[in-house]
Structure 1
Amino acid sequence: MNEIEIGRGKRGARAYSLDDVAIVPNRRTRDPQDVSVAWQIDAFQFEAPIIGAPMDSVMSPATAIALGRLGGLGVLNLEGLWTRYEQPEKVLEEITSLEADASNAFNPAVTRRMQEIYSAPIQPELITARLEEVREAGVVVAASLTPQRTQEFYRTVVDAGVDIFVIRGTTVSAEHVSQNQEPLNLKQFIYELDVPVIVGGAAGYTPALHLMRTGAAGVLVGFGGGATGTTRRALGIHAPLATAISDVAAARRDYIEESGGRYVHVIADGGLGHSGNIVKALAMGADAVMLGTSLARATEAPGAGWHWGLEASHPDSPRGDRVKVGTVGPLEEILYGPSHHTDGTSNIIGALRRSMATTGYSDVKEFQRVDVVVSPYQAK
């Protein structure tokens, strides 16, 4: 590790964000149509390495179905509005109409009202109904709970017929210590389930390696909620994503050798609002990306141009804002084009194909070997 002296009493490793790195073309190029962006986890195959983040402004049962039909994976937030309200549309309309301040983000009155809205109890029968709605559409059923809620509701989720289970929190560790309650034993929990489990976030080699040892099928890298999260400001916690992905990819490599060949997928989560960062996340070693802001810009998105995460409504320590991201176009256009924007907000898969073709790689796994350089970004 390249440690530098911060001051006489503290040293730290130098870390890089995705904005700090750039992809370098090689001697070979390809036709973009010859490039495969397919992704497979466990027995489930997808046409694109795209996962819809379990955020109420991004994924409803309808948008999860739409994303599934477009070749991605939509993950439903089982602690969100669709499991708290029989008719969440009215609540969504209220959230999107709440008055913002001049920056279209922070407003204590908005946060207070969202805390009230999300204080409604989660209804197990609504968990079952929402997952059945997705299953009846014939797409892969994926759902998410935080570690704190997993033990309470996972049996309902499994009984409803989930295909992929996601445990997603700001930071998830394989060993949580608590003197107040029995912590979730991830290794035992994953062992007893009959479905692949994706767990995170993690942001370093050691915590990721421990998560892999629990039997997880995939590890989320990052803290999610890139555009909406305030974890850095509120808690002082931040992990530059280029370095984090590279470190977790190294843990995956070593775990393959340690386990005798078991492959755990690395999934970048957070701060991927434009196609260039999605491309660079895969180049740094990710197998897939979990998208919030990019998909929140779709005309079908429940947030209607607004974006927020579950952290924004935490009853005691909210660590997120409701942010205006605008609307770009239909979900299909955002993923596959044709694009009418030059800023990387639409035709995400087309951009990925073109980057892979320009650097000469034929699939995502090969593309993880692409050359990169450190090139700190200077905003204009």
Structure 2
Amino acid sequence: MTYEIEIGRGKRGQQAYSLDDVAIVPNRRTRDPQDVSVNWQIDAYQFSTPIIGAPMDSVMSPATAITLGKLGGLGVLNLEGLWTRYEDPAKVLEEIAALKTVGAGHYDPAITRRLQELYSAPIQPELITARLAEIRESGVTVAGSLTPQRTQEHYKTVVAAGVDIFVIRGTTVSAEHVSKNHEPLNLKQFIYELDVPVIVGGAAGYTPALHLMRTGAAGVLVGFGGGATGTTRRALGIHAPMATAISDVAAARRDYLDESGGRYVHVIADGGLGTSGDIVKAIAMGADAVMLGTALARAEEAPGAGWHWGMEAAHESTPRGDRVRVGTVGQMEQLLFGPSNHTNGTSNLVGALRRSMATTGYSDLKEFQRVGVVVSPYEAD
């Protein structure tokens, strides 16, 4: 049931909630955190944590994807980013980190212009092959991401390189893209013909998510990604309060499970998950796993060197993101598993998830999706 409120006399809208608006509540029992399982599996691939590294150049390089994979997560490499445009992107990354912001805040047209210039270099298919081969040689699960606009152009190279999981990620992705200018990607046919599981998104509501599930996707990304760096709401007026979005897409998963006779599609929260509390609440609202950008950009190994930005920040005509300073809190292993000396939820992310599950009495992630929640908007001290 959807409740709408009046927005003046001529418009009604759904009341939607962000993750800051909700909180979980304890159950009648507690558990030992060591007895809690945070294992996650999608298709044939098993992971000891439900953590996916977002395909953002400030977060995932081949090296950090390997590190995250060895720590039990899944690193997704941006196959349209600096790693596939430059033979040696280290100097480019150093330049981006060294760019000086003029004035207060993150917004600086000069930085945006320079990002656009750097990302105008052509994608080199041989570098796609080389980067994915580097990850494969380490023995971890290999995942790469393309936008819907680039998928037709590069997917054969990606598949030939031996990718295990294919991610199609955009600001918003629909199963039915309409264009008068070019032949759009037929998502259902594409996934049907592909021999690897596909994760696709973002989707922000019940109906678009259900349509994506019907294409055969193994997982659906919820949200628009790039939460800390994105300016999509200011630039395009589009926003998806994540608590409501995850709950709506989880409902689509439930209904599609019944419609398809038992096919389970994973719901992956993507965007605006900067702290361990956000991760906890995303899973409580129905997510199976989380895709992290800002949270992992704070790792000492992260390519952004304490800075964070997304592909939207370098869009050639409609940039919708900024380069933001997130700092560093420790090595990736410490960031995920502790020990932590941070009280703000920026490290020991998995440990905090375990403790929340134990405190509320749940033993695995699927059970934890049933935890009680309350609407209780967060008020900063």
TM-score (norm 2): 0.99
Equivalent residue number for residue 105 of structure 1: 106
Equivalent residue number for residue 287 of structure 1: 288
Equivalent residue number for residue 151 of structure 1: 152
Equivalent residue number for residue 2 of structure 1: 3
Equivalent residue number for residue 222 of structure 1: 223
State the shift of 1:106 in Å.
Answer: 1.2
State the shift of 1:68 in Å.
Answer: 0.1
| Cα displacement string for residues 98-157 of structure 1 (whole angstroms, at most 9, x for unaligned residues) | 111344511100000010000000000000000000000000000000000000000000
* Distance change in 2, residues 1:140/1:103 (3 Å): farther
Query: Within 2, Cα distance between the matches of 1:266 and 1:42?
Result: 13
Query: Within 1, Cα distance between the matches of 2:150 and 2:106?
Result: 28
Equivalent residue number for residue 263 of structure 2: 262
Equivalent residue number for residue 124 of structure 1: 125
Query: Within 1, Cα distance between the matches of 2:102 and 2:163?
Result: 40
* Contact 1:172–1:199 (8 Å) recurs in 2: yes
Query: Within 2, Cα distance between the matches of 1:246 and 1:58?
Result: 27
* Contact 1:32–1:354 (8 Å) recurs in 2: yes
Query: Within 2, Cα distance between the matches of 1:378 and 1:25?
Result: 20
* Contact 1:104–1:324 (8 Å) recurs in 2: no
5+ residue gaps, structure 2, are none
Equivalent residue number for residue 184 of structure 1: 185
Letter in 2 for 1:372: V
State the shift of 1:13 in Å.
Answer: 0.5
State the shift of 1:358 in Å.
Answer: 0.2
Moved over 4 A (4+): none
* Contact 1:37–1:49 (8 Å) recurs in 2: yes
Letter in 1 for 2:15: R
**Pairing of 1:187-226 with structure 2 (within 5 A):** 187-226=188-227
**Pairing of 1:20-99 with structure 2 (within 5 A):** 20-99=21-100
SS in 2 for 1:278: helix
Equivalent residue number for residue 161 of structure 2: 160
Equivalent residue number for residue 354 of structure 1: 355
Equivalent residue number for residue 253 of structure 1: 254
State the shift of 1:330 in Å.
Answer: 0.1
Query: Within 2, Cα distance between the matches of 1:15 and 1:118?
Result: 35
State the shift of 1:221 in Å.
Answer: 0.1
CA-based RMSD of the aligned residues comes to 0.6
State the shift of 1:377 in Å.
Answer: 1.5
- Taking only the aligned residue pairs, the percentage that are identical comes to 83
Letter in 2 for 1:125: E
Letter in 2 for 1:259: S
SS in 2 for 1:219: strand
TM-score (norm 1): 0.99
SS in 1 for 2:166: strand
State the shift of 1:379 in Å.
Answer: 2.4
5+ residue gaps, structure 1, are none
SS in 2 for 1:200: strand
Letter in 1 for 2:346: T
Letter in 2 for 1:246: S
Equivalent residue number for residue 376 of structure 2: 375
Query: Within 1, Cα distance between the matches of 2:124 and 2:200?
Result: 23
Letter in 2 for 1:241: M
Equivalent residue number for residue 116 of structure 2: 115
Letter in 2 for 1:21: V
Letter in 2 for 1:346: S
| Cα displacement string for residues 161-212 of structure 1 (whole angstroms, at most 9, x for unaligned residues) | 0000000000000000000000000000000000000000000000000000
SS in 2 for 1:7: coil
